[in-house]
C-alpha cells in the first residue's frame, strides 16, 4: 500500500533498528528508508542481515547491517559506535528485537523467563543507554538537527493476562515502564522523545507463526469480535508518524496498533 506520508519526512535522518532485518523491524527499516532515512540494521544472523541490506540497497536506500545480540552490552556499544562512524550521526533508535515462545508458566524454567527479559527488557534499555550520547540535542552528529527519538516495540499481552506468555508479558511491561521513565528523564534533560508501539496480531511475522498457530487464529476470529490481522505496514506507518515532526509533542506514549483487538469481548 502506498504511504500517505511525503517521501522526505525523514530526509537526512539516520536510524538504527534492532531486529531490523526481519518481520516488523524490516518493514520499519524499509519505510524509514523510503521516507528519506539512512538505516543501520542490527541482528544476530549475518545471512538475514545481508539479504535485508541488499533489498534496501536495491531500493536506493543507504543501508548497512551489523551483527550483534542486544543481550551483550559490548555488541550494543560496538553497533551504535559503528552506525555513528558509518553515517556520521544517529537520530532514531528502534528497539524491535524480541524473543518469544509459547510455554505454560508451570513448564517455563527461570532461565527461560530470564532469557526473554534479557532480550526484550534489558536489551531495550542497553541499546537506549549506549545510544544516548548520539541522540542528545546538539550532540555528536554531523549536521545534527534537533534531538533524537526512540521507539520501543511492545505488545498488549500484559494489559490483561495472556495464556503461555508470562515471560513476554513481564518483559513488555518492563519495556513500557522503560519507555515512560526514559521519556520523563531524557525528554526533560535532552528533548529526546521516547515512545512505544504495541502491535496486535500482524500477519507474516515470526510472532504470528510462533505464537498463533492456525487453531488459535480460527478461535480468535470466533470469540473476539474485533479480531483481524494487521500488516507490518500498519506498524511502520505508526513508527513513521511517531518519529517524524508530526509526532513532535508525543512523548512517553505507547501507541496501540491492534485494530481495537485487546478491548474485544465475546458478544453475549
Compare residues 117 and 237 and give the one whose CB is closer to ligand HXC.
117
Whole-angstrom Cα distance, residue 192 to residue 76? 19
Residue 155 as a binder of ligand HXC (CB under 6 A): the answer is yes
User: What burial class does residue 144 get, using C-beta atoms within 10 Å of its C-beta: 0-12 exposed, 13-18 middle, 19+ buried?
Assistant: buried
Kindly tell me which residue out of 96, 211, 236, 239 binds ligand HXC, with binding defined by CB under 6 A.
Answer: 211
Find out whether 25 and 49 touch, Cβ atoms under 8 Å: no
Contact flag: residue 207 with ligand HXC (CB under 6 A): yes
Distance CA 197, CA 49 (A): 23
Site track 13-32 with ligand HXC (rule: CB under 6 A), x = hit: --------------------
Q: How many helices (H) and strands (E) does the chain have?
A: 9, 7
127 binds ligand HXC (CB under 6 A): no
- CB contact at 8 A, 15 and 84: no
Based on the shown chain and the rule CB under 6 A, indicate whether residue 157 belongs to the binding site for ligand HXC: yes
The DSSP call for residue 146 is S
- The strand ranges marked E within the chain are 14-18, 38-43, 63-67, 92-95, 149-153, 193-199, 254-257
Q: Is 264 an interacting residue with respect to ligand HXC (CB under 6 A)?
A: no
Query: What x-and-dash track marks residues 158-197 binding ligand HXC by CB under 6 A?
Result: ----------x-----------------------------
State the maximum Cα–Cα separation within the chain, in Å, rounded to a whole number. Answer: 59
Q: Could you say whether residue 115 binds ligand HXC (CB under 6 A)?
A: yes
Among 8, 58, 60, 109, indicate the residue that binds ligand HXC (CB under 6 A).
109
Binding flag, residue 60, ligand HXC (CB under 6 A):
no
Closest approach, Cβ 137 to ligand HXC, in A, equals: 32
Which C-beta is closer to ligand HXC: that of 131 or that of 211? 211
Distance CA 147, CA 92 (A): 9
Q: Which helix (H) or strand (E) element contains residue 48?
A: helix 46-58
Q: Which stretch binds ligand HXC (CB under 6 A): 5-13, 128-136, 182-190, 207-215?
A: 207-215
Q: Give every CB contact of residue 163 below 8 A, 6+ residues apart in sequence.
A: none
Q: Which is nearer to ligand HXC, 95 or 100 (CB)?
A: 100
Cβ 70 to ligand HXC, closest distance in Å? 10
Q: Which stretch binds ligand HXC (CB under 6 A): 60-68, 110-118, 173-181, 231-239?
A: 110-118
Q: Which three cell numbers stand for residue 187?
A: 525528554
Residue 184: Cβ within 10 Å count: 13
117 binds ligand HXC (CB under 6 A): no
If one asks whether residue 112 binds ligand HXC (CB under 6 A), the answer comes out as yes
Residue 103 interacts with ligand HXC (CB under 6 A): yes or no? yes
Using CB under 6 A, list all residues that contact ligand HXC: 98-101, 103, 108-109, 111-112, 115-116, 155, 157, 168, 206-207, 210-211
Amino acid at each position: 500500500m502506498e504511504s500517505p506520508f511525503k517521501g522526505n519526512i525523514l530526509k537526512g535522518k539516520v536510524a538504527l533498528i534492532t531486529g531490523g532485518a526481519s518481520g516488523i523491524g524490516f518493514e520499519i527499516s524499509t519505510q524509514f528508508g523510503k521516507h528519506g532515512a539512512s538505516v543501520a540494521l542490527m541482528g544476530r544472523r549475518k545471512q538475514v542481515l545481508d539479504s535485508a541490506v541488499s533489498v534496501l540497497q536495491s531500493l536506493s536506500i543507504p543501508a548497512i547491517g551489523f551483527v550483534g545480540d542486544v543481550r551483550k552490552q559490548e555488541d550494543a556499544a560496538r553497533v551504535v559506535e559503528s552506525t555513528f562512524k558509518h553515517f556520521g550521526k544517529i537520530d532514531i533508535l528502534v528497539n524491535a528485537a524480541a524473543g518469544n515462545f509459547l510455554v505454560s508458566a508451570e513448564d517455563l524454567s527461570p532461565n527461560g523467563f530470564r532469557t526473554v527479559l534479557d532480550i526484550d527488557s534489558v536489551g531495550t534499555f542497553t541499546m537506549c543507554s549506549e545510544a544516548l550520547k548520539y541522540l542528545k540535542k546538539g550532540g555528536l552528529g554531523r549536521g545534527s538537527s534537533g534531538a533524537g527519538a526512540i521507539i520501543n516495540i511492545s505488545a498488549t499481552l500484559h494489559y490483561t493476562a495472556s495464556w503461555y506468555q508470562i515471560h513476554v508479558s513481564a518483559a513488555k511491561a518492563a519495556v513500557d515502564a522503560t519507555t515512560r521513565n526514559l521519556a520523563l528523564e531524557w525528554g526533560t534533560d535532552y528533548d529526546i522523545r521516547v515512545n512505544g508501539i504495541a502491535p496486535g496480531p500482524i500477519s507474516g511475522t515470526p510472532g504470528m507463526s510462533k505464537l498463533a498457530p492456525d487453531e488459535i487464529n480460527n478461535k480468535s476470529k470466533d470469540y473476539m469480535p474485533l479480531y483481524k490481522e494487521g500488516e507490518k505496514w500498519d506498524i511502520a506507518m505508526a513508527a513513521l508518524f511517531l518519529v517524524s515532526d508530526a509526532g513532535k509533542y508525543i512523548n512517553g506514549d505507547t501507541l496501540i496498533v491492534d485494530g481495537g483487538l485487546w478491548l474485544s469481548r465475546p458478544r453475549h
